[in-house]
Structure 1
Amino acid sequence: MPSLPPDLDALQLRPLTPDDAAPFAALRLRGLRECPQAFSSSYEEEAATPLADFERRLQPEPGRAVLGAFDGGTLVATVGIKREDMRQLSHKAFLWGMYVAPEARRRSVGRRLLRHALEYAAEPLGVRQVNLGVTASNTAAVALYRALGFVAYGVEREYLCVDGQYHDETLMACRLRRG
């Protein structure tokens, strides 16, 4: 494995907690404003969300987490992961809300956070497969997911409508290796 750039040695990857609500909300709103076609939620819907709601989202619970990447103590990337609730689907998890701040892109932050999410899915969540949906035109994200083992298995046409523009969603899955 190639060595990491020196500035990534200090990158901290961990589950977020309610104490991280303010930086999480700020980064999420930044992502919603910057890349509205990458999220199901809109900036307008989430901008009015009280901080207490973000704190609740980050409350530790079995089966789900929001993971963050901190560079020098600053939250620069997030991704959510949730195991399916239904017993017969609980071997799978769903990845959602991945966002990497522009200043952290092209520095392997997203790749490291996604690897961390897949490790988290394997243990402690104990799932065999991770699914996600990504805006089909987001070629950088699709390439990252493919590089880490995700395979496209379908497309939902006109999944999202942002400012009158329709966007397709590529559905992808990654089988986790066991043992």
Structure 2
Amino acid sequence: MIAVQTRELTKSDAAEYRALRLRALKEYPTIFSSSFEVEREWSVERFADRLPEKPESSDAFMLGCFVGGDLVGSLGFFRFEGPKIQHIGRIVAVHVAAEHQGNGYGRAIVEGALKRARGISGLSTIQLTATTTNGNAISLYESFGFEICGVTPRAMLVEGEYVDEHLMVLKLD
């Protein structure tokens, strides 16, 4: 049986994270607000700067799913700043490599993020967005209790086509 591990990424994971992220941006241009053309110019060091030294002590983190030691999926999380919105966290940039989809790795990453987020003092709400055409992701998030609370029409313009997004919310209390 192949070993599966979900853990927080650190700066030492930057090269592998960069490769996975670039692949995701290229294969799924309508899922992410950034683009392959922009991020392929970024160095490994720039990706490392996005990863914390000690993720376990931060309200922002990046989780990775490793299968047989290889990074096959990732998820970002951050907490909003400011006294009126610091009760809200946001899940971003969820991705599992195509050949590993359907094996529960996306579920494992979201589950890990929610467990970690529930440990953040004062956090009561988690938001995320999903393109309205990404039924698998929407179903996954709904299985954790996320609810669609709105649609952003024309959230992105990708190759001349508009892409709409659902805003989804999970109340932790």
Taking structure 2 as the reference length, what is the TM-score of the superposition?
A: 0.94
Distance 1:164 1:146 in 2: 30
Aligned match of 1:89: 85
Q: For the residues of structure 2 that align with 1:72 and 1:98, how far apart are their CA atoms? A: 20
Residue of structure 2 aligned with 1:20, choices 7, 13, 19? 13
User: Does the residue aligned with 1:38 lie in a helix, a strand or coil?
Assistant: coil
Secondary structure of the 1:37 match is coil
| TM-score, normalised via structure 1 length | 0.91
User: Are 2:168 and 1:172 equivalent residues in the alignment?
Assistant: yes
Q: Does structure 1 residue 44 correspond to structure 2 residue 37?
A: yes
Task: Name which of structure 1's ranges 125-134 and 156-165 shifts more when overlaid on structure 2.
Answer: 125-134
1:65 maps onto 2:61 in alignment: yes
Structure 2 unaligned regions, length at least 5: none
Mapping of residues 28-177 of structure 1, within 5 Å: 28-60=21-53, 62-124=58-120, 126-177=122-173
| 8 A Cα contact 1:94 1:132, kept in partner | yes
Counterpart residue identity of residue 144, structure 2: L
Whether the 8 Å contact between 1:153 and 1:171 is mirrored in structure 2 is yes
**Separation of aligned partners in 1, 2:167 and 2:104:** 23
Question: Equivalents in 2 of 1:104, 1:148: separation in Å?
Answer: 20
Q: In the alignment, is the contact (CA less than 8 A) between 1:149 and 1:174 conserved in 2?
A: yes
CA RMSD of aligned residues (A): 1.3
Unaligned 5+ residue runs, structure 1?
1-5
